[in-house]
């Protein structure tokens, strides 16, 4: 059923899945993808609350927040993947447990 | 159960399924492909939640840009099986799963305990590109401009970080100038 409770539960479930990915995996690419999962879960919560309590506006603040979150997620993915690429080029590993130094 | 509820449940399950596949696949390629399912389902949920513009942006930004970026990096790394890195031992994974289930349980309990006011009605062109655009360029123009600076900084940072280091030029030696004349 399309209720605010269910939307927030979906959002929480996606966020928890992302947390699991960050905690339980060691491949740095999958960890970055899990971060995207968490950001998307939060976006669902913003959109759901904007949908059910619009406050008389046709584009409530939740929609703007989601757009800004998307921009931040894009920036985060770009910088994160650049770091991964640079690290792999120098150290030949994508395993977070083997990533002990950030200098070379 | 009307059509809207049906699609909400359908896209929710699809999103959870895609997210679960993303965090459990061994190879990042399969994770990235599961992420396509996930982003598509999220876009569908946003469409049902009366945010057509955001659903479109979701497809364009996430499925169109971020995912391609991930696939490009996976392609550039070309990880071999032994370079994928190890996995954590299963007791730790089980513990992490239990912890995340507890996190979900606690937040879900808090959500379900919260009494909610009845939803307010929404307008005809709620969440359309026009409405969001008007709002963004009138009321929220300052955050918008700040985000543009952030993206510029991230772009430059990504280029600087990912660029191959060129061979250093030979150090300038103190040659006597008169020798060339």
Is the pLDDT reported for residue A10 higher than 80? yes
* Alpha carbon of B149: minimum distance to chain A alpha carbons (Å): 11
**For B84-124, how does the pLDDT look when each residue is reduced to its tens digit (9 = 90+)?**
777 888 999 999 999 999 999 999 999 999 888 888 888 88
Query: Cβ contact (<8 Å) for A26 and B93?
Result: no
Is the pLDDT reported for residue B27 higher than 80? yes
pLDDT band at B174 (very low <50, low <70, confident <90, very high): low
- Comparison of pLDDT for B172 and B155, the residue scoring more: B155
DSSP state string for A64-94: HHHHHHHHHHHHHHHHHHHHHHHHHHHH---
Pick the CATH number of B1-79 from 3.20.10.10, 1.20.1250.20, 1.20.120.1200, 3.40.50.2300: 1.20.120.1200
Q: Which of A24, A71, A79 sits opposite B147 (nearest CB)?
A: A71
pLDDT band at A7 (very low <50, low <70, confident <90, very high): very high
Q: Which of B83, B111, B158 sits opposite A79 (nearest CB)?
A: B158
* Structure token pair of residue B54: 């955001």
Low-confidence winner among A43-47, B41-45, B129-133 (lowest mean pLDDT): B129-133
A89 to chain B: closest CA residue: B77
pLDDT band at B175 (very low <50, low <70, confident <90, very high): low
Residue A69 to residues A62, B20, B62, Cα–Cα distance (Å): 10, 22, 11
A34 to chain B: closest CA residue: B23
Is the pLDDT reported for residue B176 higher than 60? no
B60 to chain A: closest CA residue: A70
Low-confidence winner among A20-34, B53-67, B78-92, B164-178 (lowest mean pLDDT): B164-178
**For A32-78, how does the pLDDT look when each residue is reduced to its tens digit (9 = 90+)?**
999 999 999 999 999 999 999 888 788 888 999 999 999 999 999 99
* Cβ neighbours around B93 below 10 Å, total: 16
Is the pLDDT reported for residue B71 higher than 60? yes
Alpha-carbon torsion, ordered B72, B78, B82, B84, to 10 deg: 0
Confidence at residue A40, expressed as pLDDT on a 0 to 100 scale? 95
Predicted TM-score (pTM) of the model is 0.88
A51 to chain B: closest CA residue: B49
pLDDT band at B180 (very low <50, low <70, confident <90, very high): low
Confidence at residue B85, expressed as pLDDT on a 0 to 100 scale? 73
Q: Chain A interface, mutation test: which of B1, B35, B85, B117, most A Cβ atoms within 10 Å?
A: B85
* Backbone angles phi and psi of B63, in degrees to 5: -70, -30
To the nearest 5 percent, what fractions of chain A are helix, strand and coil?
75, 0, 20
- Chain B contact set for A24 (CB, 8 A): 23, 88, 92-93, 96-97
């Amino acid at each position: 059923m399309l209720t605010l409770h269910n939307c927030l539960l979906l959002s929480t479930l996606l966020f928890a899945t992302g947390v699991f990915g960050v905690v339980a995996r060691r491949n740095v690419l999958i960890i970055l993808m899990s971060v995207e999962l968490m950001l998307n879960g939060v976006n669902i919560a913003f959109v759901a609350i904007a949908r059910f309590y619009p406050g008389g506006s046709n584009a409530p603040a939740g929609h703007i927040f989601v757009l800004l979150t998307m921009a931040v997620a894009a920036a985060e993915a770009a910088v994160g993947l650049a770091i991964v690429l640079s690290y792999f080029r120098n150290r030949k590993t994508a395993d977070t447990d083997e990533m002990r130094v950030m200098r070379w | 159960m009307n059509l809207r509820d049906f699609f909400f449940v359908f896209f929710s399950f699809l999103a959870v399924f895609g997210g679960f596949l993303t965090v459990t696949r061994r190879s990042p390629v399969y994770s990235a492909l599961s992420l396509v399912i996930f982003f598509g389902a999220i876009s569908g949920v946003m469409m049902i939640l009366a945010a057509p513009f955001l659903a479109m942006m979701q497809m364009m930004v996430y499925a169109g840009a971020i995912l391609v970026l991930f696939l490009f990096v996976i392609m550039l790394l070309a990880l071999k099986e032994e370079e994928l890195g190890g996995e954590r031992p299963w007791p730790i994974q089980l513990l992490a799963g239990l912890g995340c289930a507890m996190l979900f349980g606690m937040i879900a309990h808090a959500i379900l305990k919260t009494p909610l006011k009845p939803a307010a009605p929404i307008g005809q062109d709620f969440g359309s590109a026009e409405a969001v655009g008007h709002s963004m360029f009138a009321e929220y123009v300052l955050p918008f401009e700040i985000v543009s600076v952030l993206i510029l900084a991230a772009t430059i940072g990504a280029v600087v970080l990912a660029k191959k280091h060129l061979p250093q030029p030979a150090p300038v030696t103190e040659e006597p100038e008169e020798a060339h004349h």
